Amino acid sequence: MNPVIISVCIMLLLSLMRLNVVVALTFSAIVGGIVGGLSIHDTISAFEGGLGGGATIALSYAMLGTFAVAISRSGITDVLAQTVVKKLQGKENASAAKAFKYTLLFIFMLLAMSSQNIVPIHIAFIPIVIPPLLHVFAKMRLDRRAVACVLTFGLITPYMVLPIGFGGIFLHNILLKNLNDNGLNVVASQVPSAMLLPGLGMVCGLLIAVFFSYRKPRDYDESKILAVEPELLTYNSRHIKVAAVAIIATLGVQIFTGSMIMGALFGFIVFIFGGVVKWQETHDVFTKGVHMMAMIGFIMIAAAGFAAVMKATGGVESLVGILTTDIGQNKPLAALLMLVIGLLITMGIGSSFSTVPIITTVYVPLATAFGFSPMATIALVGTAAALGDGGSPASDSTLGPTSGLNADGQHDHIWDTVVPTFLHYNLPLIVFGWIAAMTL
């Protein structure tokens, strides 16, 4: 009757039944609080008290959405869409069409990876870049589940192994800091190295998804796509140059301040003074940006409330306590259970970044007691935190791809994004994370 297990299972079941994710998170948090011994009043207080923890993330996404809308005003995304359409023309030959398909998926992977490490706008580029290309996908009969897996790979893997951008935040500011704060003496250079094997698990999952699971053609209703296809905007070379300056400025400010909000705000100001967004249009652009990212923001706020309730019940500590009382000194089983527990926690919280502080306090002394090396402990904690990020209904790594691929209502968040990414990333992560823990 552990509240974490019960809450996560209820949340996943309700999500699979297509109930709204915010409602599923809220209901499962209340049930978990009551099961964990809290009164209904204390449960609601904990949930409401935790909502503020998601406010910064929600505002960050609102500003990133605004920045992304401004980017679209510059005409860069139209150039991309038109270029792809021109490349597609004349590729009736099956081998040429297949080569173009995999080239396009590779480009999406690079875009997603660059959104984490080079141009840190995170998922804000997806609802701008993907909808104009849905018609192209339909012509190619490209399975959107493959696109979802490619985008999710690009959103997760870079922060796991590359200490730049969001990777620097995850590996150094969060993972390294919490490991050292809990008594594990490790240096910054060890963290990315320890995460290479788990990262290889992500690569294996990507290859299976693209070349085996979703390689077959899939048909979509093109009439629905045409109904939501965005209107092509006029653009000029000066606007594109301003966009390039704004992107560089956003990157620089975010690195300097460590704030996505400040970076996106500064980039938006560049668009205003560069003439891409007129002064009187700022309200409209901001409204569109908030509308584009609003659902993701609300889900992340609800996930923060869910996490607060789980902390209040003490369910995480009692779940980890099973390891120390019931399995003796079985080191391989301990590693496996630590990873599975991390999966359950992250599936509920929806953020690997938020999971690290929760599990580190109990995982570091536990790993030391079982005799895991410092490098193995890094791999265990880092992988346990990343687990679930690619398969949680509340994760921005799954919400982002859905926000673009479901623009015409033909891509289900749970069955077409969450389930495929869970199968292709969480399961390999458990295997490769376990190998890393046992060999490092």
> Per residue in 143-153, pLDDT tens?
999 999 999 99
Q: Is residue 280 a part of any domain in this protein?
A: no
Q: Is residue 273 a part of any domain in this protein?
A: no
Most confident stretch, 197-201, 361-365, 382-386, 387-391: 197-201
Average pLDDT on 292-316 reads 74
Give the whole-angstrom CA distance, residue 7 versus residue 310: 9
What residues contact 245, with CB distance under 8 A and at least 6 apart?
270, 274
Report the mean per-residue pLDDT for the chain.
Answer: 80
Give the whole-angstrom CA distance, residue 301 versus residue 350: 10
Q: Provide the domain count of the chain.
A: 1
**Range of weakest confidence among 82-96, 232-246, 250-264, 276-290:** 82-96
Nearest partner of 201 among 435, 437, 439, judged by Cα: 435
Nearest partner of 350 among 120, 29, 65, judged by Cα: 29
Token code pair at residue 365 = 């002394």
Written as one letter, the residue type at 216 is K
pLDDT of residue 147: 94
Q: Is residue 246 a part of any domain in this protein?
A: no
pLDDT band at 59 (very low <50, low <70, confident <90, very high): confident
Token code pair at residue 192 = 């990315």
pLDDT of residue 209: 94
Token code pair at residue 141 = 């009969």
pLDDT of residue 351: 67
What residues contact 330, with CB distance under 8 A and at least 6 apart?
none
Tell me which H or E stretch contains 12: helix 3-16
Token code pair at residue 104 = 């396009």
pLDDT band at 263 (very low <50, low <70, confident <90, very high): confident
- Give the other-Cβ count within 10 Å of 273's Cβ: 11
Assess contact for 10 and 28: CB atoms under 8 A: yes
**425 pLDDT higher than 90:** yes
Q: pTM of the entire structure?
A: 0.77
Q: Is residue 257 a part of any domain in this protein?
A: no
Residue whose tokens read 């959103």: 155
Task: Name the residue range of residue 160's domain.
Answer: 3-215+222-229+290-439
Average pLDDT on 7-11 reads 80
Q: Is residue 406 a part of any domain in this protein?
A: yes
Higher pLDDT, 106 or 85: 106
**Range of weakest confidence among 32-41, 99-108, 253-262, 272-281:** 253-262
Higher pLDDT, 294 or 380: 380
Token code pair at residue 426 = 């969480």
Higher pLDDT, 364 or 326: 364
Give the whole-angstrom CA distance, residue 103 versus residue 365: 46
pLDDT of residue 276: 77
Average pLDDT on 381-389 reads 83
pLDDT of residue 151: 93
Q: Is residue 328 a part of any domain in this protein?
A: yes
N-term to C-term CA, the chain = 34
Assess contact for 286 and 277: CB atoms under 8 A: no
Q: Is residue 269 a part of any domain in this protein?
A: no
Average pLDDT on 295-311 reads 75
Nearest partner of 247 among 105, 59, 54, 111, judged by Cα: 111
Give the whole-angstrom CA distance, residue 208 versus residue 210: 6
Give the whole-angstrom CA distance, residue 349 versus residue 311: 11
Cα three-residue angle 53-262-181, rounded to 5 degrees: 50
pLDDT band at 268 (very low <50, low <70, confident <90, very high): confident
What beta strand segments (E) does 146-302 contain?
A: none
What residues contact 263, with CB distance under 8 A and at least 6 apart?
120, 250, 251, 252, 253, 254, 257
Rg (CA), the chain: 22
pLDDT of residue 196: 92
- Give the other-Cβ count within 10 Å of 309's Cβ: 33
pLDDT of residue 206: 95
